[in-house]
Amino acid sequence: MDDIKTKLKISLNSFDDLEQVRKAVINFCRHYCRSNDEIDIIEMSILEACHNAVQYSEKRKNKPLCELMLFYDNQSIKAIVKNYGKPFKVVEKDSFSIDQDFLQYKNGGLGIPLIKSLMDSVEYIRKSDNMNELIIVKKLTKNQ
Amino acid sequence: MRIKESEKDGVVVLTLSGKMMLDAKSAGLHDYVKNLIEQGKTKVVMDMGKITWFGSTGLGALLASYTSLKDNDGDLKVARATRKIRSVFMFTQIIKVLENYDTVDEAVAAIK
C-alpha cells in the first residue's frame, strides 16, 4: 500500500448515511474490481464495519459518528473505519467457518468473523481519546 | 425486516423482505423459527428475493435457524437469494450447508 493512487473519505452521522456509503463504495470498486462478486464482498464488509461503528459510537461534538476512508493502490482496496467508543475484540476472534456452532451467532457477534473471512486482512488499532480504527484490505484479482 | 408466513405442500415458506441488518427483527428470525419448531413445523424455505440489505445479524439468525431445524430432524432451504447474498454464501462456504434455489417451488420440492 505504499503507492496509493486514489482515496475517498466519507463521514457518517446516522444509519441513513449507509445508503450513501453503499453507493460510494460500489462506484469506487467498479473502477478497480474485475468481478461483481469482488465488489459485493467488499461492499458488504465495509457496510458491516460502518454499521457497527455507527451503532456503538460515542457522540462527540463536531465529530461524525464514523469516518470511512477508501484507498486503492494497484493491487488492493483498503478501507479504514474510525469511530469513538469502547474498544472491541478483533484479534481474538476467528474467521467465520462452517464448522463452528452457528447457534453462537443467534443474537449477533458474527460481524468481525464474517469480515475476516471475506477480506484478506483485518487490523484493529486502539488509539488515544477512545478512538477505534479498523483497517480492512482486499487484494484484487488480476486480469485474466 | 418483515417476515410473511405461508405454507406450500406441508412446507413453511417464510418470505423475508427489507433490511436484514442489525435490528431486533433480524435477530428475531431465529425465535420465529423456534416457534415453528414448537408447533412441529420443521421444514422451512426462506424466500430471500426481497431482501434489500444483508448483514451479519441476519446471517447469524439464518444460520442459527438452520442449526435449530437440523437439530429437530428438519431442514432449511433458501430460495431466490440475491447475487450479493450468494456471493457471501460462496466466499464463506455457507453454500456447502445451506442450499439456494432459483425459485420457491424448487426449494419446496427439494425439502419435501
Which candidate, A41, A127, A34, places its Cα nearest to that of A79? A41
Facing B64 at nearest CB: one of A98, A106, A114:
A106
Report the C-alpha gap between A115 and A132 in whole angstroms.
Answer: 16
pLDDT digits (tens, 9 = 90+) for B26-47: 668 999 999 999 999 999 999 9
A·B CB contacts under 8 A: 79
Please state which of the ranges A117-126, B14-23, B71-80 shows the lowest mean pLDDT: B14-23
- The larger pLDDT score, comparing residue A143 to residue A86, is at A86
Taking an 8 Å cut-off on Cβ atoms, the answer to whether A40 and B53 are in contact is no
The pLDDT confidence band at residue B25, using thresholds 50, 70 and 90, is low
Cβ partners under 8 Å of residue B12, min gap 6 = B5, B6, B36, B41, B43, B44, B45
CATH architecture of residue range(s) A6-139: 2-Layer Sandwich (3.30)
Chain CA centroid to CA B52, Å: 15
Looking at the DSSP assignment, which residues form a beta bridge with residue B101? B79
Facing A48 at nearest CB: one of B56, B64, B91:
B56
| pLDDT score at A144 | 44
Chain CA centroid to CA B42, Å: 12
B29, B58 contact by CB (below 8 A):
yes
- The larger pLDDT score, comparing residue A10 to residue A144, is at A10
Looking at the DSSP assignment, which residues form a beta bridge with residue A44? none
Which candidate, B86, B52, B65, places its Cα nearest to that of B14? B65
Burial of A53 (0-12, 13-18, 19+ CB in 10 A): buried
| pLDDT score at B57 | 86
Residue with cell 451479519: B56
Question: Is residue B93 less than 8 Å (CB to CB) from chain A?
Answer: yes
Share of chain A above pLDDT 70, in %: 94
The pLDDT confidence band at residue A115, using thresholds 50, 70 and 90, is very high
Report residue B33: phi and psi, to 5°. -70, -40
Which candidate, A69, A105, A5, places its Cα nearest to that of B56? A105
B25 to chain A: nearest residue by CA?
A107
| pLDDT score at B27 | 65
Looking at the DSSP assignment, which residues form a beta bridge with residue B16? B3
| pLDDT score at B18 | 87
Average pLDDT over residues A101-120: 90
Cell of B111: 425439502
Q: Best interface-test mutation with A: which of B67, B92, B94, B95 has the largest number of A CBs within 10 A? A: B92
Interface of A with B in 35-74 (CB under 8 A): 36-37, 40-41, 43-44, 47-48, 51-52, 55
Which candidate, A108, A118, A109, places its Cα nearest to that of A90? A109
Report the C-alpha gap between A34 and A11 in whole angstroms.
Answer: 27
Kindly list the domain boundaries of chain B, sorted by start residue.
2-111
| pLDDT score at B24 | 54
pLDDT digits (tens, 9 = 90+) for A44-102: 999 999 999 998 889 888 889 999 999 998 899 999 999 999 998 888 888 898 888 89
Taking an 8 Å cut-off on Cβ atoms, the answer to whether B91 and A118 are in contact is yes
Interface of B with A in 52-71 (CB under 8 A): 53-57, 59-61, 63-64, 66-68
| pLDDT score at B46 | 97
Kindly list the domain boundaries of chain A, sorted by start residue.
6-139
| pLDDT score at B22 | 61
Instruction: Quickly count: other Cβ atoms within 10 Å of residue A77's Cβ.
Output: 27
Which candidate, A80, A72, A66, places its Cα nearest to that of A29? A72
CATH class in words for B2-111: alpha beta
Task: Name the 3-class secondary structure at A81.
Answer: strand
Q: Which helix (H) or strand (E) holds A22?
A: helix A18-30
pLDDT digits (tens, 9 = 90+) for B45-102: 999 999 988 888 889 989 999 999 999 999 999 999 999 899 999 989 999 999 999 9
